Amino acid sequence: MQIIHSEFLKSANGTQGFYQDAVPEIAVVGRSNVGKSSFINALTSNAKLAKTSSLPGRTRLVNYFSINHNLFRLVDLPGYGFAKASKAEQEKWNGLMQAYFTQSKQLKMVVLLVDIRHEPTEKDVQMLEYLYYYNISTTIVATKCDKVPKSKILHYIKVIMTKLKVGKENIFPFSSETKYGKEAVLKRLDQFIFPDASRAEEE
């Protein structure tokens, strides 16, 4: 798949703002500052699409982006594990995520972003369990892989496999800086957005 068009649609902070139409969605989650917004910008080759920041906690709302004129939507979700977040903010995050995951009927897959350099945290494990609980297909993307030597990527992937109990075929090394892994991730998205088309191609 090639992304030839991307455009910000809107931000939502609750049920009223969620889309209820037939357009498929792929959402991106992960801890605060892991690189979710950068990931969306890298995939779309649109550096200004999602607002990024070196300070954690930049994205606080559900942000929707139209891809290839509404062929599907990418959804940037607020990060978790933001150390400075108050209890009230954390509860708001929980409520918003639960609402999004239970009400988004066209959600085809969630990309869980982790930092390739660090062992996933308990919060990442909880997030994954939460997605399993809601029966949502999940792909792990290990981002910032430009920060480790290429020869070490497999080593780091193994650490992530062990902590998250996920097979290698489900973890994609990626870099928003160098675009490493972009083709593989786009192919993966395609398979979840159009499962029938992918199967037909294999036959």
Ligand X SMILES: Nc1nc2c(ncn2[C@@H]2O[C@H](COP(=O)(O)OP(=O)(O)OP(=O)(O)O)[C@@H](O)[C@H]2O)c(=O)[nH]1
Residues interacting with ligand X, by CB under 6 A? 30, 32-38, 52-54, 56-59, 79, 143-144, 146-147, 175-177
Which residues contact residue 138 at a Cβ distance below 8 angstroms, ignoring those fewer than 6 apart?
Answer: 109, 110, 111, 112, 128, 131, 132, 170
Q: Nearest 5°: CA angle at 113, between 107 and 116?
A: 155
CB 124 within 8 A of CB 43: no
Spatial distance between the Cα atoms of 145 and 70, rounded to a whole number of angstroms:
30
Nearest distance in Å: CB 59, ligand X = 3
By beta-carbon proximity to ligand X, the closer residue of 19 and 180 is 180
**Which residues of this chain interact with Mg ion, rule CB under 5 A?**
36-37, 58-59
By beta-carbon proximity to Mg ion, the closer residue of 37 and 139 is 37
Nearest distance in Å: CB 42, ligand X = 7
Nearest distance in Å: CB 55, ligand X = 7
Nearest distance in Å: CB 82, ligand X = 7
- The residue nearest ligand X at its CB is 79
